[in-house]
Amino acid sequence: MATIAIFGGTGYAGSAIRDEALRRGHRVISVTRSGAPDGASQAPNLEFRQGTVHDAALVDRIAAEADVIVISIRFAPTPEDVKLIDAFPALTRACAAHGTRLGVVGGAASLDVTEGGPRLIDTPEFPDAFKPEAGSAASTLDALRADTTGVDWFFVSPAQEFGSYVPGEPRGAYRVGGDVLLRDEAGRSHISGADYALAFVDEIDQPKHHRTRFTVAY
């Protein structure tokens, strides 16, 4: 049994990862700004804590306690103009110091649409409204790739169609790729929240990707 701390454990991806981890018998610490939500599950291995990834002291305490820290938070700036990427220097230092693995729920926009590019975010069809958050996610990936702490991180980009607006039906299966967007035989790039979580927790249970990004899709 591993102790998995999820910053953003009540969101779409975070809650799916939480539920999959609990199903496998792991201990989960869900950290959010508001703590335990109303009607929260009383699962024996689940603990809710209130806090933010921007609190360096909290991050250090969590890193000392957890085997894996999962970041499942929007990359877009908050109304107070706080950016997720700003939390990563303290986060990577804490994880490296305590030997804690770091997993990040990433986005699809930084994936190449074909071998050699361009990235999805750089295509004419990519909506301008999504570019600020997608660009921030890509910058976070770049920062991890340039990391000098030695932290064992992994960044999981989902398929192009992923999120609460397209939840999909769980299949209990997925394909793994690298930096190129995966599509099925019909040309569609998609994955359900449950199967994204399946892949994410599989990586926690059987690590295969170290200090790198990978993608999952059907």
Q: What is the CATH number of the domain that holds 150?
A: 3.40.50.720
Q: Which two tokens stand for residue 106?
A: 């990433």
CB-CB contact of 59 with 53 (8 Å): yes
- For the residues 152-172, what does the mean pLDDT come to? 96
Give pLDDT, residue 40.
64
Cα 67 to Cα 60: distance, rounded to the nearest angstrom = 12
Q: Which domain holds residue 42?
A: 3-217
Give pLDDT, residue 117.
86
pLDDT of 78 above 80: no
Q: Which two tokens stand for residue 205?
A: 């249970």
Q: pLDDT (tens digit, 9 = 90+) per residue, 10-26?
A: 999 999 999 999 999 99
First and final C-alpha spacing in the chain: 28
Reported pTM:
0.95
pLDDT of 38 above 70: no
Number of compact structural domains in the chain: 1
10 Å Cβ neighbour count for 112?
15
